[in-house]
Amino acid sequence: ATPMAVLTTVNKLAKKGIIVRNGDSLEKIEKAKIIIFDKTGTLTEGKFTVTKYQGSEETIRLASSLESYSSHPIAKAISSLYRDKHKVEGFNDFPGEGVYGRVDGKEIIVGKREFVLKNCEGNADGDILICVNGKVEGSIWVEDKIRDDAKEVISKLKDMEKEIYIATGDPSSSAEEAGKELGVKVYKGLSPEDKVDIVKELRKRGVTVFIGDGVNDAEAIKEADIGIAISSGTEIAKYAGDIIIPSINSLLTVFRYGKRAVSKIK
Ligand code: ADP
Ligand code: MG
């Protein structure tokens, strides 16, 4: 049976928008040693802006048309480059990699460099590459800001002597920059499965928490001793997670209340 103290705490947290699906996780969190953060949308605002692009207007327009079918935050930035869109057929989303589809009769891939170069001839600089009919034809540079509260949350977790990591699908230099700015180690360019492997590896050393936002973090969230999803509003039901928090700020609240619940049980 769930102890009274845990139930009371779960109710108090619910009033703060924190949903505890699994009461045990509240008791466990006090023992957490390792905390792994997803980057995009978790430590960053998840609102990308395009800072620069290369390629013909037509190439960028093809990419922009294709990205209007994806809900990825990078896709939103690219899709807003052009209002007029081409017709898209056979859209395919490759989570953590990019998108594919036929646009205006051409085969288009837009995604991270590694992903596009694997499937396309040519080479180019850029965070995101555009492939048109099998050839690299354009590049896009994007930027996403670290959330204002991320630094404070991480420094408080360090004060609590937690080991902290970033695990991100982002292969670009902004992954390292985020690590430097926050003073934590970064695993970058990861597929959703790589994230699961890292959780498995780190779990061998102690109780491990994974905090992520996207649907593509669901498996890593499940693999962790305590999986935390960041979400709010109506989307909550579709996410995995022992605990669901509205933003990383609430993480400190979860730790505080977890500790209180445990001390009342003892
Ligand atoms: P994170 O792990 O930081 O949340 P994701 O797994 O969502 O990042 O994405 C990893 C990388 O894959 C992005 O940094 C981007 O390079 C690429 N990517 C994913 N989806 C798209 C898309 N729709 N358009 C362009 N690039 C994408
Ligand atoms: Mg993410």
Q: What is the CATH number of domain 4-45+146-265?
A: 3.40.50.1000
Q: What is the ipTM of this complex?
A: 0.95
194 Cα–ligand 2 center, Å: 14
Span 158-172, average pLDDT:
94
Give the closest residue (by CA) to ligand 1 atom 14: 170
pLDDT at site 266: 67
**Is the pLDDT assigned to residue 1 strictly greater than 60?**
no
Range(s) of the chain covered by CATH 3.40.50.1000: 4-45+146-265
pLDDT tens digit string along 210-240? 999 866 788 999 999 999 999 865 565 567 8
Residue intervals in the chain for CATH 3.40.1110.10: 49-143
Domain 49-143: which topology? Answer: Calcium-transporting ATPase, cytoplasmic domain N (3.40.1110)
Task: Compute, in angstroms, the gap from residue 144 CA to the centroid of ligand 1.
Answer: 12
Return the closest-CA partner of residue 168 out of 198, 139, 147, 140.
198
Residue with the bigger pLDDT between 84 and 201: it is: 201
Position in ligand 1 atom list of the atom nearest CA 41: 4
Kindly state the average pLDDT of the residues 92-119: 95
> What span, in angstroms and rounded, lies between the C-alpha atoms of 221 and 216?
10
Q: Tell me which residues have their CB closer than 6 angstroms to ligand 1.
A: 38-41, 67, 70, 72, 74-75, 96-99, 110-112, 128, 168-170, 214, 216
The two tokens of residue 224 are 């962790």
pLDDT average, residue stretch 198-217: 92
* Per-residue pLDDT tens over the stretch 70-104: 988 899 999 999 988 999 999 999 988 999 999 99
The confidence score (pLDDT) of residue 95 equals 86
Counting ligand 1 atoms within 8 A of each CB, the residue from 60, 74, 219 with the most, and so the one to mutate, is 74
Residue nearest to atom 21 of ligand 1 (CA): 98
| pLDDT per residue as tens digits for the range 29-55 | 999 999 999 998 899 988 999 999 999
251, 164 contact by CB (below 8 A): no
From the CA of 190, the nearest ligand is 1
Mean pLDDT of the chain: 92
Output the pTM of the full model.
0.86
Which one, of 258, 255, 234, 230, lies nearest residue 244 by Cα?
Answer: 230
| Angle, CA 19 vertex, CA 18 and CA 20 arms, to 5° | 120
